[in-house]
Chain A
């Protein structure tokens, strides 16, 4: 059996590409151990959920993910992504229209945001300083956690690494000691605040600072994006951080557009990977992982072709990986619990997407024109979001959904013909199935109408500007991108599926249950978003195993 490759990466999403590039470069320190890597992508181009395509003539759509900032600066720097064409343009304004009064606007400039809030409530404006400081404190603690492998709490020395690699612990121990050190420097009080923050709801957290219902609803938005939770669900406060950890130009919480659409992110990483010697095959769908004697030895493609390699790493989500790509008999031979972990893994999709080509720029109610330069959130108070969530809970899309809208063409006019615009509409909440029923074209049309009506209500005249509209439900996202149930994070971001429990308890260190098998997608720590951290962390663990000869 000829093994031409050191590693096969299943899936050419951004994390898969990051893993491939890191492996081919021999890790962060560009070690001697440069691996021969093959990336297999089932679609005709790479990118997964970070994809740009010309769906309507002349318009570049960012078809799934639409903003960029979570991408770790370490990865940006190491892969020299700007040289490969990636440029992130920060946006400096976030707003929420109001068809019954003045909308809410926040800016990247702190003083300016406070002034803006004063129009709604002096109390809230003054509390904003305290709130922002508390969020920074929480972020400072979490950020160093992103780029380390989580410890395994069930081992006697929780800092020790996987059993097959007892020598590898040093690297990680350093990282963890750093965290412990950070934790210690905080003092008892901040420790408590962090523990409390991780278990509380964003609703309770915001209630401690603010009084204006619409502002609270607006501030809570980041906490519910991509989750199957409402603002008063415990654990949502953490999700807020997950979005605040975005970093553009070292500014925490800043978000940006990728010039040329989100596809530029994948394109740049792919280009860096190719330059490092990675081989990328598109139109190459993996059907099965070949397991022999408890070891992963290669993959079988959908066309029957078998490709062998010393290691296999899956960028697919945990459910897809363990329930579709791997035979149940192979799993059961190792540990029957893994199958039930995979079955019970929570991966409900909750978001849809509308991609719209516009004849001109819409004007949002209660907002100045320049608000179109940033994100526009259509929502309301907590009740608005809770009611949207109630629809979802019982198996329907939100009749009045929460929408996160961006118009990247205001910043990057090259993405549409002159004067025209591309609008990305992220819709929360949309279920994967309607109760037990799959989506039908009629249902999808009804869903689209509800979303467009909601926008029209907040931007009168908007409907007349529509040139083309592409609507995607979680069902579509699963079928087109391969994300199980259309979950954008490859698994819900709840406490039980974080850190050492991501993807499953006991498999939190990127290594699968089989020797030579790894995971590198958003379904592993630290989770979703176009962040790249899981990919880089997985590569580090794999290289350790190569170095110590356990592969």
Chain B
């Protein structure tokens, strides 16, 4: 076998690409991973944004990494400390005041009680029920989505579907009815049904819309909330929010070690120009420098649009399929703001680690209205973490880093230029921060803003969409990335999708990569047995 021939080529060394590569290598395949950037990790890396200041470049909280992936790949043996720094959530109110949600039930209740005694009583039962409902959906994270046409499913998929049905029944009639009622409603209505205080409604509104181009009053947003909650159960995720030691890059380092020790070859700064196609099938890739690498299986962890509209050259796929890919909703709407702080305001220190600024439903809805008309939100909703509180090594001694998600900063701007958008994001984020921690503006030593456009340019995420396609009801499960192609196999023979653009979607979970590897192996086994016969 020549040097450039492999069993499997994985495009992209994001966390999903590394997971797929590791699973396949552990099963004895010769795997090559090709990464365009200098650094591995894709959207899950640690980045130095100012001299001496580092932070997780895109995703900054670990909550969804699937326990099965950790166990299967032995990530803890490769240095992963996923659950070292558990954090709670504080809803910060502009002008002062906050509400704390932590593991301590009594303290949480007491905190809510200051805003609404009724909500203090309602909080735990309501949220526990939601997590229970989310759990029913969560069990499908590590499964291949079935087809609604029964004949199209293999035995394993049928079994999974059957188990899912059984699980729904076990939920009991009341929960099942509740799930069918709330699955498609909007989070503003749900919050109104359950709670009375603005601060809780606003917080839920942000949780349900973070990363999707929808507002709290848009239907189907409760689904997003459940999707998020699913990963907060021990079974389907980490059971809480964690700040990874060393930033998200540390997770990728563990994954890379696992991959390398399984025999995977990883090449960085090796951007793929296009997928090599012979006789209407993928047979390898051509790098930007013209070099050819060949393998009968090409698994792309790049997003579906990048993979199928750009890496596959025109004239190799069918019209309706491509049209579906072009119309994927991938309108990124979150900007990332990194601040280097000379000193940390006390309010940040006292909060529970993860701070959200979304004081009411209308606050978030107004923020969304701006995005609707192609503008950066006048008053953005924020999610803030201070990674240096748990890992001081990320900044020079005594200094701090704030890592902030700013919603909404739409990818599709109308009358704003990219440069204007970037400065608006920073300015408006600081305005909001100033209302929470007066004087913080003066502590900012350096800053970086990554708008969806920057995310696209830096991390090859089409539309700057974090999840490689919004995780909404019409783009999940057997509709992800497109109907009939939900089982990781793309219409071009030999080409597979193994990134978040496939089921079950985004977050640093590794589930898509693991599922794709399982399907690829199934297929290889079939081909092998056919060859033997």
> CB within 8 Å of B: which residues of A?
153-154, 156, 187-189, 191-193, 195-196, 199-200, 204, 207-208, 229, 232-235, 337, 344, 346, 383, 386, 390, 393-394, 494-496, 500-501, 505-506
Which secondary structure dominates chain B's binding surface?
helix
Pair A153/B180 contact, Cβ less than 8 Å: yes
Per the bound structure, the CA–CA distance linking A391 and B369 in Å amounts to 11
A196 and B483 contact, CB distance less than 8 A:
yes
28 A-B contacts (beta carbon < 8 Å): A153-B180, A154-B173, A154-B176, A156-B169, A188-B147, A191-B149, A192-B483, A195-B479, A195-B483, A196-B474, A196-B479, A196-B483, A204-B329, A207-B327, A232-B372, A233-B217, A234-B472, A234-B474, A235-B219, A390-B369, A393-B217, A394-B362, A494-B184, A495-B184, A495-B219, A500-B180, A505-B181, A506-B177
User: Which of A204, A234, A337: most chain B CB closer than 10 A?
Assistant: A234
Known contacts A189-B484, A204-B327, A235-B219; A195 and B181 CB within 8 A of each other:
no
Residue on B nearest A506 in the bound complex, by CB: B177
Option from A188, A235, A495, A496 in Cβ contact (under 8 Å) with B148: A188
CB neighbors of A among B455-502 (8 A): 472-474, 478-479, 483-484
Which chain A positions have C-beta within 8 A of B217? 233, 393
A394 to B180, CA, bound (A): 28
With A and B bound together, what is the CA distance between A320 and B329 in angstroms? 40
Expressed in whole angstroms, the minimum distance between the Cβ of B470 and any Cβ of chain A is: 10
Q: Is the CB of B219 within 8 A of A229?
A: yes
List, in ascending order, chain B residues with CB within 8 A of A232's CB. 218, 372
Shortest distance between the CB of B382 and any CB in chain A (Å): 22
Complex: A505 Cα to B149 Cα, angstroms? 26
Name the one of A154, A234, A337 contacting B218, with C-beta atoms under 8 angstroms.
A234
Asked if B178 is an interface residue, CB under 8 A from chain A, the answer is yes
B218 touches A199 (CB 8 A): no
Contacts of B329 in A (CB 8 A): 204
* Bound-state Cα–Cα, A232 to B365, Å: 14
Q: Are B373 and A233 in touch, CB under 8 angstroms?
A: no
The CA of A232 and the CA of B472, in the complex, are separated in Å by 13
The 3 closest A-B pairs by CB, nearest first: A192-B483, A505-B177, A495-B184
How far apart are the CA atoms of A191 and B173 in the complex, in Å? Answer: 27
Given A208-B327, A234-B473, 8 more pairs with CB closer than 8 A: A188-B484, A195-B483, A234-B219, A234-B474, A344-B193, A393-B365, A505-B177, A506-B173
Q: Which residues of B in the span 180-219 have a Cβ within 8 Å of any Cβ on A?
A: 180-185, 189, 193, 214, 217-219
Within 155-180 of B, Cβ neighbours of A (below 8 Å) are at 169, 173-174, 176-178, 180
B305 in contact (CB, < 8 A): no
Q: A233-B218, A494-B219, A505-B177 are known contacts. Are A199 and B483 too (CB-CB below 8 A)? A: no
CB <8 Å contact, A346 and B178: no
- Chain A residue numbers with a CB within 8 Å of B372 are 232, 386
Number of B residues contacting the other chain (C-beta, 8 Å)? 38
CA distance A464 to B274 in the complex (A): 67
CB-contact partner of A234 in B177, B178, B214, under 8 A: B214
A192 and B180 contact, Cβ closer than 8 Å, known pairs A234-B214, A394-B362, A494-B219:
no
**In the complex, A208→B325 CA distance in Å?**
11
Q: Are A501 and B180 in contact (CB under 8 A)?
A: yes
CB contacts (< 8 Å) of A393 on chain B: these are 217, 365
Interchain CB contact under 8 A, B177 and A154: yes
Chain B 376-388 per-residue mask, 1 if CB under 8 angstroms from chain A, else 0: 0000000000000
B220: interface (CB < 8 Å) = yes
Q: How far is the CB of B44 from chain A (nearest CB, A)?
A: 28
Question: Which residue of the partner chain B has the closest CB to A235?
Answer: B219
Distance of B321 from chain A, by nearest CB (Å): 11
A235: chain B residues within 8 A (beta carbon): 184, 219-220
- In Å, the complex CA distance between A226 and B102 comes to 42
Which single residue of chain A is at the shortest CB-CB distance from B486?
A192
Q: Does B152 contact A (CB under 8 A)?
A: yes
User: Is A383 within 8 A of B178, CB to CB?
Assistant: no
**Given known A-B contacts A154-B176, A196-B479, A235-B220, A191 and B185 have beta carbons under 8 A apart:** no
The minimal Cβ–Cβ distance linking B314 to chain A, given in whole angstroms, is: 19
Is B323 an interface position by the 8 A CB rule? yes
CA distance A235 to B474 in the complex (A): 10
- CB-nearest residue of chain A to B374: A383
Q: How far is the CA of A232 from the CA of B176 in the complex (A)?
A: 28
| Neighbouring B residues of A193 by C-beta, 8 Å | 483
Taking the closest CB of chain B, its distance from the CB of A278, in whole angstroms, is 35
The one of B180, B362, B478, B484 in contact with A505, judged by C-beta atoms closer than 8 angstroms, is B180
Nearest-neighbor residue (CB-CB) of B482 within chain A: A192
Is B178's CB under 8 angstroms from A505's CB? yes
Nearest to A186 among chain B residues (CB) is B149
Q: Is B184 a contact partner of A496 (Cβ separation < 8 A)?
A: yes
A191 to B177, CA, bound (A): 24
Which of B176, B177, B327, B478 has most A Cβ within 10 Å? Answer: B177
A188 to B151, CA, bound (A): 10
Chain A residue with Cβ nearest B190: A344
Centre residue among B173, B184, B214, B329 by max chain A CB count within 10 A: B184
- List residues 201-242 of chain B with CB under 8 A from any CB of chain A: 214, 217-220
Q: How far is the CA of A505 from the CA of B133 in the complex (A)?
A: 16
- Asked if residues B323 and A208 are in contact (CB atoms below 8 Å), the reply is yes
Query: Bound complex: CA of A393 vs CA of B218, how far in Å?
Result: 11
Complex-state Cα separation, A253 to B402, whole angstroms: 56
User: Which A residues are in CB contact (< 8 Å) with B327?
Assistant: 204, 207-208
CA separation between A156 and B173, bound complex, in Å? 11
Contacts A189-B483, A208-B327, A495-B219; A195 near B148 (Cβ below 8 A): yes
> Which of A189, A192, A208, A501 is the one whose CB lies under 8 Å from B181?
A501
CB distance from A60 to the nearest CB of B (A): 38
Q: Which residues of A contact B184 (CB under 8 A)?
A: 199, 234-235, 494-496
In the complex, the chain A residue whose C-beta lies closest to that of B476 is: A199
**Once the chains are docked, how many angstroms separate the CA of A450 from the CA of B148?**
49
In the complex, A44→B174 CA distance in Å?
A: 42
Chain A's nearest CB lies how many Å from the CB of B153?
11
| Chain B residue with Cβ nearest A153 | B180
The residues of A that contact B474 with a CB separation of less than 8 Å are 196, 199-200, 234
Contact B369 A494 (CB under 8 A): no
B373: chain A residues within 8 A (beta carbon): 383, 386
Q: How far is the CB of A141 from chain B (nearest CB, A)?
A: 13
State which of A187, A188, A496 has its C-beta within 8 Å of the C-beta of B182: A496
Q: How far is the CA of A118 from the CA of B185 in the complex (A)?
A: 39
Contacts of B323 in A (CB 8 A): 208
With the chains together, A193 CA to B31 CA distance in Å? Answer: 37
Establish whether residues B185 and A494, one from each chain, have CB atoms under 8 Å apart when the complex forms.
yes
> Are A188 and B180 in contact, with the CB atoms below 8 A?
no
Given A192-B478, A235-B220, A496 contacting B472 (CB threshold 8 A): no
Closest B residue by C-beta to A192 = B483
Residues of B near A234 (CB, < 8 A) are 184, 214, 218-220, 472-474
How far is A394 from B329 in the complex, measured between Cα atoms in Å? 27
Least CB distance from A49 to B in Å reads 25
The listed residue with most B CB atoms (<10 A of its CB), out of A189, A495, A501, is: A495
| Cβ contacts under 8 Å, A229 to chain B | 219
